[in-house]
Amino acid sequence: MKNPAAKYRPYEAIDLPGRTWPEARITEAPLWCSVDLRDGNQALAIPMSVEEKLRMFEMLVALGFREIEVGFPAASQIEYDFLRRLIEEERVPEGVRLQVLVQARPHLIEKTFEALRGVSAAILHFYNSVSPAQRRITFNLSREEVKQIAVDGARIVRDHLGQSGESDIRVQYSPESFSSTEMPYALEVCEAVCDVLQPTAEERMILNLPATVEVAPPNVHADQIEWFCRNFSRREAVWISLHTHNDRGTGVAATELGLMAGADRVEGTLFGNGERTGNLDIMTVALNLYSQGVDPGLDFSDLPRIREIYEENTRMEVHPRHPYAGELVFTAFSGSHQDAIKKGFDRLEEREEAGEGNPVWEVPYLAIDPRDIGRTYEAIIRINSQSGKGGVAHVLGRDFGYKIPKAFQPDIGAVINEVADARGEELTADQIHALFRERFVNLTAPLALYEHEVRRRETDDADQRFLFRGRLAEGGTVHEVEGRGNGPINALVRALEAEGWKNWRLQDYEQHAIGHGSGTESAAYIRIEREDGRSFYGCGVDTSIEEAGLLALLSAVNRARAAGE
C-alpha cells in the first residue's frame, strides 16, 4: 500500500446547516423495486436463462414486489425476448409494473418502446452518466454537452409516450454516479429533464439518485439526499429513489439514512447480488424495518425457500453470516449466549402462558424471532448429545480442514451424538476428529485393499482408458481383482462389480486439499446408493488425490456392507 494521501481524494462534505435526517425515523415502508433481473443478472458469471428469469420473476411477485426491473431490452436479445414473453403470455399480474433500463440514446429508446408494446403498466428508466470522471474520461464532454444528452433523451421519451396507446408508462431518470457528482450540477441536470417531461403531483415521475459507486460514508449520502430534496423545485411531482451499492460495505446503512433524509423509494436485490461488492440487499432493509415494528410490505416468511430459489437460479451462495438468511445467523456458538437465549425463550413462554397474548419480542442475542422468517434457533458449539450436525461439521472444518458435504453431515452428526449420549459428556474437537476417522475414513473392513496399481492405457476407447489391478482381502480370503474404466474410480468400481461386490450406484464425488504446502493431504467424499435406496458416504484421505478417491469409495462400500441388508 502506498501513501493514501498522495493517491486518493477524500469525499466532499455537504454544506447542509440544520440537517433534519439525524432526528428522523422510518415509520413506513418505502416503495420497493427489485433489480435482481437486471443489475443482479448482469453481475452473474453465467447470466440466467429465460426460464430461470421466469422463476425468479414469479418469486419476486409472490414476495410482494410491485415494481420489478426485468432487463435492458435494447441491449440484449435475451432480455428483449424475456420482456416480450412476460407481456405476450400475460404473466404480469395486475398492479405489477415492469421496469426496463435504457441509455439516453435515440435508437435505444426507440427499441425499448418497441419492446414495451402492449404492456399494461411499466416504468421506462433512462439514464446517462454525469460525474466528473465520466465526463472527462469516458465521454470527453463538457457539462453542457452531458446535460444535453439527458435533455435530448427526455424529449425522445416524451414523444414516444404520446404514442404508447393504452399502456400506463411511468418515467424514471437516473443521473448515473449521482453520489460522485457535484450536487449543484446533478440538480441542474435533473431540473432540465423535468422541464421537458413536466411531471405533476398527479402524474409523478421517478428521480433515481444512484450511489453507483459508494465513495463516502452513509451520513454524507444522507446529506446529499436531503440537500437534493430541499433544493429540487418540483419535489411534490417526483418520487426520490435510492440505488446504493456496497463498495464501502455500508449500502444498507446508506439506504436507511437516505430514507430518513426524505427518499420515497428503494431499488435493490435479494441478498445484495450485484457488481463488485454488490447492490443494496433489499431483504436486509425490509427485515430491519420489520424488527422495528414497521410492516415492510414484503413477505419473507419462508426465507429458506427464497434462498434456495435464489441459489438455484443465480448459482450464487448466501454467506453463512449473511444477515437473517445466513446458515449460522440464528446459531449460538458461545455457551453463555446459549444460556441467555434459552432463558429468553423460557421467559417468553411464561409470558404467553400467563395470558399476555402476543408479548413483545425480547430474547437476548436474537434481533427477531427466527420463526417469523421460517428459520429456527440452533445451539451447536458444545458438541454433545444435543448438538446439531452443523456443529460437528463446523468443528471438523475449523480445526481439521474438512469441507464436509451437506448431505454427509447428518450421518456424521448421528454418530457423534450417539457416542456423546452414551458417554454422557461433551466431546472435544480431537475426540470428534478421532471418531470421524474411525467410522468414516479409510475403512478397511470388511474389504481391505492391499497392493494395487492404477495405470493409464494407450487406447482410443475412453471407457477403457484406466486399468485398476490389485489385491482385496475379505474375511481372510485374498482376491486378485482387475477392472477397466474411464477413470481410476470407475476402474475400481468395475473391479468390485466383477467380484460380485456391487449392489449400489456411485452417486456423488467431491474432493479438496487439506492445508497448504508440498505435504498437503487431500480428502475425497463419495456417496453410493444401494438398490434398496439407502445411501452411504465414505471419506478417503491421502497425499494423493487419486488414492484418496479410491479409499473414499472403499470406505463407502464398507459402510454399506457392514450395515447389512
pLDDT digits (tens, 9 = 90+) for 459-497: 888 889 999 999 999 888 999 999 999 999 999 999 999
Residue 248 lies in a domain: no
- The helix or strand, by DSSP H or E, that contains position 511, with its residue range, turns out to be strand 504-514
Q: By mean pLDDT, which of 74-83, 110-119, 413-422, 544-553 is the weakest?
A: 413-422
**What pLDDT, on the 0 to 100 scale, is given for residue 163?**
85
**What pLDDT, on the 0 to 100 scale, is given for residue 328?**
85
Residue 357 lies in a domain: no
Structure letter (DSSP) for residue 254:
H
Domain end call among 309, 328, 343: 309
Q: Provide the pLDDT confidence category of residue 394 given band limits of 50, 70 and 90.
A: low
Q: Provide the pLDDT confidence category of residue 356 given band limits of 50, 70 and 90.
A: confident
- What's the grid cell of residue 241? 429513489
**What pLDDT, on the 0 to 100 scale, is given for residue 82?**
95
The arithmetic mean of pLDDT across residues 128-153, rounded, is: 96
The arithmetic mean of pLDDT across residues 495-510, rounded, is: 93
Q: Provide the pLDDT confidence category of residue 378 given band limits of 50, 70 and 90.
A: low
The arithmetic mean of pLDDT across residues 490-507, rounded, is: 93
**What pLDDT, on the 0 to 100 scale, is given for residue 353?**
83
Residue 270 lies in a domain: yes
Structure letter (DSSP) for residue 281:
B
**What pLDDT, on the 0 to 100 scale, is given for residue 333?**
59
> What is the rounded CA–CA span in Å between residue 557 and residue 537?
8
Higher pLDDT, 212 or 382: 212
Domain that holds residue 190: 30-202+266-309
Q: Provide the pLDDT confidence category of residue 540 given band limits of 50, 70 and 90.
A: very high
pLDDT tens readout for residues 154-169: 999 999 998 888 899 9
Residue 107 lies in a domain: yes
pLDDT tens readout for residues 48-58: 999 999 999 99
Domain end call among 253, 282, 309: 309
Smallest Cα–Cα separation from 33: which of 7, 69, 57? 69
398, pLDDT greater than 80: no
305 and 451 co-located in one domain:
no
- What's the grid cell of residue 105? 440514446
381, pLDDT greater than 50: no
Please give the order of strands across the beta sheet that includes 466-474. 447-456, 466-474, 477-485
Domain end call among 274, 309, 344: 309
> What is the rounded CA–CA span in Å between residue 306 and residue 154?
38
CATH number of the domain that residue 137 is part of? 3.20.20.70
518, pLDDT greater than 70: no
Percent of the chain residues topping a pLDDT of 90: 75
Q: What is the average pLDDT score of the chain?
A: 92
Structure letter (DSSP) for residue 330:
T
Long-range residue pairs from 383-389, CB within 8 A, at least 24 positions apart, any chain:
383/416, 383/420, 383/426, 383/427, 383/429, 383/432, 384/417, 384/420, 384/421, 384/425, 384/426, 384/427, 385/417, 385/420, 385/421, 385/424, 386/417, 387/413, 387/416, 387/417, 387/420, 388/413, 389/413, 389/414
> What is the rounded CA–CA span in Å between residue 119 and residue 241?
23
399, pLDDT greater than 90: no
> What is the rounded CA–CA span in Å between residue 112 and residue 98?
12
**What pLDDT, on the 0 to 100 scale, is given for residue 382?**
45
182, pLDDT greater than 50: yes
The arithmetic mean of pLDDT across residues 531-554, rounded, is: 94
325, pLDDT greater than 60: yes
- List CB contacts of 40: < 8 A, sequence separation 6 or more: 269, 270, 273, 274, 279, 314
Residue 326 lies in a domain: no
The arithmetic mean of pLDDT across residues 504-512, rounded, is: 94
Our count of domains for the chain comes to 2
CATH number of the domain that residue 487 is part of? 3.30.160.270
Contact status, residue 239 vs residue 206, Cβ threshold 8 Å:
yes
Q: Which amino acid does the sequence have at 467?
A: L
385, pLDDT greater than 60: no
519, pLDDT greater than 90: no
Q: Provide the pLDDT confidence category of residue 60 given band limits of 50, 70 and 90.
A: very high
The arithmetic mean of pLDDT across residues 412-425, rounded, is: 83
* Phi and psi torsions of 93, nearest 5°: -65, 155
Residue 412 lies in a domain: no
pLDDT tens readout for residues 90-102: 999 999 999 999 9
Question: Measured on CA atoms in the order 77, 82, 84, 88, is the torsion positive or negative?
Answer: positive
**What pLDDT, on the 0 to 100 scale, is given for residue 504?**
93
Is residue 196 classed exposed, middle or buried when 0-12, 13-18 and 19+ CB atoms within 10 A define those classes? middle
Higher pLDDT, 375 or 70: 70
The CA-atom distances, in angstroms, between 95 and each of 80, 165, 191 are 22, 18, 29
**What pLDDT, on the 0 to 100 scale, is given for residue 271?**
97
386, pLDDT greater than 70: no
Instruction: For the chain, give the number of residues.
Output: 565
Coil, strand, or helix at residue 560?
A: helix
**What pLDDT, on the 0 to 100 scale, is given for residue 450?**
87
